[in-house]
Structure 1
Amino acid sequence: MTTAELTEPKSDERASILLVDDMEDNLVALEAVLGSLNEPLVRARSGEEAMKAILRRRFAVILLDIRMPGMDGFETATNIKRLDQTKNVPIIFLTGTDSDDTGYAFRGYATGAADYLTKPFDPWVLRAKVTVFLDLHRKNQQLERLLAREQQQFDALAARMTSIERQLSQAADPDVRELRHHLTRMEETMRTMRRP
């Protein structure tokens, strides 16, 4: 596997961005600001829709409005953070300037938000923040691929050693028994290295 293969995202691993807001105008504005990032933008008009979306697809970052009918942004974020597959997805809270900024910001960070912006937001700032989370997502995917590759190589080596040991166990020669003893110690060392 080349460096290019490890760093370029596969088509099914693109860094999707979830946009959650009950107002159509806000979703259109977010799409206009983030469209130039060339990553899939997925809309959700409520907390309930957002929860369905995160169960169907992997997201790099979630932009979440706080004030929505039904399940508000805080409750949605709490539910997102409870799920194993989404607990580490960064959330950027968005709220209107008429909100109690201090109280809302505190609650947002308390629910696990990575950032908090008020509307109207600066498009350049929002795009820059989202870009940072997209980069982190890509680096995490690259690391996952590297770890999976290392695990495959480790498993292949362990299987090969087991096969050699099995063949040696059938031999009666004293030198072979000594070699078998060393192989057993190597396997124990490998098992120890494999533990987290």
Structure 2
Amino acid sequence: LNQSDGVEKVAELLRLSNSPSEVQQRVLQILKKYHDKPLLSGKRIVLLTRGDEGFPKPILIDQKHYCFRLYAAMDCIFIESSGNLHILDFKTGKSAFDRRQALVYLLAARYLYPKHKAIASFYNLEFSKKSELISVTKSELDLIEFELASIAQKHQQDLQKYQQQTQKFSQIFPPNPGYHCRFCPFNSICEFSAFKASQTV
């Protein structure tokens, strides 16, 4: 992307011409914006994922009173000049910056990179928009871990209830329809899908 024809070369590498025209336009727009503002240029990158790796490897969090597996698929990690790890999550479209997602990443970093202090942020590739930097203290991270453990424990209890009473699925796991239904592969057959409802109205 440093070259004047970098956008075209990257588009060729991605075989973008094989994609639908709408996808081509959006990706080209992202590449052009990144070409103008190369966010990662000169950064000491520790991790940069393609985005199609599938389910991440679980992090086992095993404490005295609880144990659970944490899954955190991080887009990019680089080292700041201060020595801090910076976890950067890329967004596209109108996806909101959700602080809770960043908190999960910071907890994952505690286990994956224990010698480093970590911060997190979001960056929208289509609008070249940065979020604020997100950081937490050790005691805040302890509380986040405890809350996630409680959620994991409740989920296990709900799974056990479901195994005993499979017909009560929607009572044990109440539906939460909304904008996210658009991206669910089951929205066409799900009776609770907000997307399906809007299609039939």
* Greater C-alpha radius of gyration: 1
Give yes or no for TM over 0.5: no
